[in-house]
Structure 1
Amino acid sequence: MSKPSTAPAPPGKRKAAATTAAGAATTLAGADGAAANSGARLKRGTTAVDLRIYRAVVNAVMSHRLPPGTHLGEADFCELYRVSRTTVRKALQRLAHDHIIELRPNRGAVIASPTPEQARDIFAARRALEREIVPLVIRHRTPASLQQIRQALEAEDQARRTGDRASWIRLGGEFHLLLAELAGNQVLLRFMGELVSRCSLIIALYESPGASMCENDEHKELMTLIEQGKAEQACALIEHHLLEIEGRLRLGEPGRKINLAEALAGL
């Protein structure tokens, strides 16, 4: 990757929402996840049922309905989806491979709980990745790709206006993943899928309670810079955006108990 940008953050008041950039409910981490999410053929050995379980857990995590540390009982999945433990274990193994859950001895599967040190490393990696993605989006931009970005922003605004926090979180993450897709580099897209999902876990763990929904001004400003072909300013903005998100986080432990059936309802 290129040397990190040292350009100063763009002036003006920033209202980046911590959850907007990091929640990605339909993101399936890794290359397999990206393919599954777009409807491509399943990975060898993957069935529609364990893929459904995988997606449901990822969606619930990205929407912050399953916070870090939540225990995932195999029996609960068997009852919810009317499947065998073998099928459930396949889905859990895949989730563990993509860092969504941890398989712990004598405790089973739990939603992953990144440490503060891991959180800093993950955000640093994401900033480096997005600095590579944004210039590629500008280089490959077309009227069609710009329209895709506009539609993504409109969907975010609609969710915010209606107070649909879960969708707003999900769509905020999808905005960043759309940029990765429009960059035209499948390796970057794969890495981005994993980082976005892991950032959502971090935010679920360390987000200040009662964080309010606010305007996604920086997404809109980024769209303007992409349209204008201003790569340097766009890179500075994306770095500022992610640093501000990270800066809002605080150490803490999730305290609420989760009902798995309620968290996965409709997913």
Structure 2
Amino acid sequence: MKSIAKAVLVPEGQQEDRARAIRDSLRDAIVDRRLAPGTKLSEAEVGTLFDVSRTVVRDALQMLAFEGLVTTERNRGAFVSNPSPDEARQIFESRRLIEPAIVAAAADRLTPDEIAGFRSHLEEEARYKGERGASARRAEIKASGDFHLLLARVAGNAILEKFMQELVARSSLVIALYGRTGVSSCGHDDHTEILDALERGDVEAATASMLHHIGHIEADLDLREIEAMTLKDALSI
């Protein structure tokens, strides 16, 4: 976790600002899987690494717990979440409910400059396509999630944007845990189809492409329940 602390400068100022800086740093580490599911987040250790009080750390961990990236257990502390297959399905069902509304709202607000910004982002996504390795996979998952966050920002609804920040963070963790292909499957081509439809002003086609796209992501996940096995059985001894 020391490398995480070095990457972020906790700003001077109010306690809430300091807690948010720590929240953001830990969130990035969780989504990037530098902090594995189940990792214990000790208030004392985090406080030492960021040179803040345990009260500030506790506030940061509560923010992450609200986003679903951290779970807290009485008398045990806070741990990086390890979403179950059922929780993963619920995350993508929530996205099916929310993202069509974002598409519709964004369609009314997209400007030529914003479309150009999206095109630039798609070029960035394309650079990761076909690359292999843990760092490339993390970069692809982040870039893919950022497309959805950009769309939510253009939609102009701060509440929906906040929901999407939580859903994208949790989706990224699920993709990293359960993805079968080794890439995000949040396809660059799917994003291009969505943007092309929005640029044409075809909200129906953009919505259909978004729903297909969410299904595409979920279809790449291995969400089968695994039966518990004894150590002897697992090792075939």
2:209 paired residue among 215, 218, 237: 237
1:222 is matched with which residue? 194
Q: Secondary structure at the match of 1:102?
A: strand
- C-alpha separation in 1, matches of 2:141 and 2:118: 16
Could you tell which deviates more after superposition, 224-233 or 160-169?
A: 160-169
1:71 is matched with which residue? 40
Please list every run of 5 or more consecutive structure 2 residues that lacks an aligned counterpart in the other structure.
Answer: 1-12, 226-237
Please list every run of 5 or more consecutive structure 1 residues that lacks an aligned counterpart in the other structure.
Answer: 1-41, 254-267
Q: How does 1:158-197 map to 2 (within 5 A)?
A: 158-160=127-129, 164-197=136-169
Q: Secondary structure at the match of 1:125?
A: helix
Q: 1:138 to 1:216 in 2, by over 3 A?
A: same
2:61 paired residue among 67, 72, 92: 92
1:47 paired residue among 17, 42, 46: 17
State the AA in 1 paired with 2:198. Answer: I
- C-alpha separation in 2, matches of 1:162 and 1:244: 20
- C-alpha separation in 2, matches of 1:115 and 1:165: 22
The answer to whether residue 75 in structure 2 is matched with residue 114 in structure 1 is no
Q: 1:160 to 1:60 in 2, by over 3 A?
A: farther
Whether the 8 Å contact between 1:63 and 1:166 is mirrored in structure 2 is: yes
Q: Secondary structure at the match of 1:46?
A: helix
Q: Greater helix percent: which structure?
A: 2
Identical aligned residues as a percent: 40
1:22 is matched with which residue? none
Whether the 8 Å contact between 1:68 and 1:112 is mirrored in structure 2 is: yes
State the AA in 1 paired with 2:206. Answer: A
Whether the 8 Å contact between 1:78 and 1:85 is mirrored in structure 2 is: yes
Superposition deviation, residue 252 in structure 1: 7.2
2:94 is matched with which residue? 125
- C-alpha separation in 1, matches of 2:147 and 2:138: 14
Give per-residue Cα distances to partners, 1:128-156, cap 9 Å, x unaligned: 11111112222212111211211221222
- C-alpha separation in 1, matches of 2:32 and 2:88: 18
1:211 is matched with which residue? 182
Q: Secondary structure at the match of 2:33?
A: coil
Superposition deviation, residue 162 in structure 1: 6.5
TM-score w.r.t. length of structure 1: 0.70
Q: Secondary structure at the match of 2:146?
A: helix
- C-alpha separation in 2, matches of 1:152 and 1:245: 19
Superposition deviation, residue 88 in structure 1: 1.5
Could you tell which deviates more after superposition, 187-196 or 176-185?
A: 187-196
Q: 1:165 to 1:207 in 2, by over 3 A?
A: closer
State the AA in 2 paired with 1:52. Answer: A
State the AA in 2 paired with 1:129. Answer: I
Determine which structure has greater relative contact order: mean sequence separation of CA pairs < 8 Å that are 6+ residues apart, divided by chain length.
1
Q: Secondary structure at the match of 2:35?
A: coil
TM-score w.r.t. length of structure 2: 0.79
- C-alpha separation in 2, matches of 1:144 and 1:187: 24
- C-alpha separation in 2, matches of 1:190 and 1:212: 25
Q: 1:251 to 1:161 in 2, by over 3 A?
A: closer
Give the root-mean-square deviation of aligned CA atoms. Answer: 2.3
Superposition deviation, residue 85 in structure 1: 1.9
How many residue pairs were aligned? 209
1:151 is matched with which residue? 120
